Amino acid sequence: MLKKDNIPISQLAMEVGYSDIFTFSKAYKQHFGFPPSQRF
């Protein structure tokens, strides 16, 4: 799923079980060390 390009961050968050993009972004940054906006 993370290999898909041009997927909106909000859609990615929903697909992995987050109903809130802000919570997803925080968890993503804690795990990967950078926000999803730098990848997507």
* Residue 21 and residue 10 in contact, taking contact as beta carbons nearer than 8 Å: yes
Tokens at residue 17, please?
Answer: 């079980």
pLDDT confidence of 26, banded at 50, 70, 90? very high
Q: Does any domain span residue 23?
A: yes
Report how far residue 33's alpha carbon sits from residue 38's, in angstroms, rounded to the nearest whole number: 10
Q: Does any domain span residue 3?
A: no
Q: Does any domain span residue 18?
A: yes
Range of the domain at 31: 9-38
pTM of the model: 0.76
pLDDT confidence of 3, banded at 50, 70, 90? low
Q: Does any domain span residue 30?
A: yes
Give me the mean pLDDT over the 3-27 stretch: 89
Chain centroid to Cα 38, Å, comes to 10
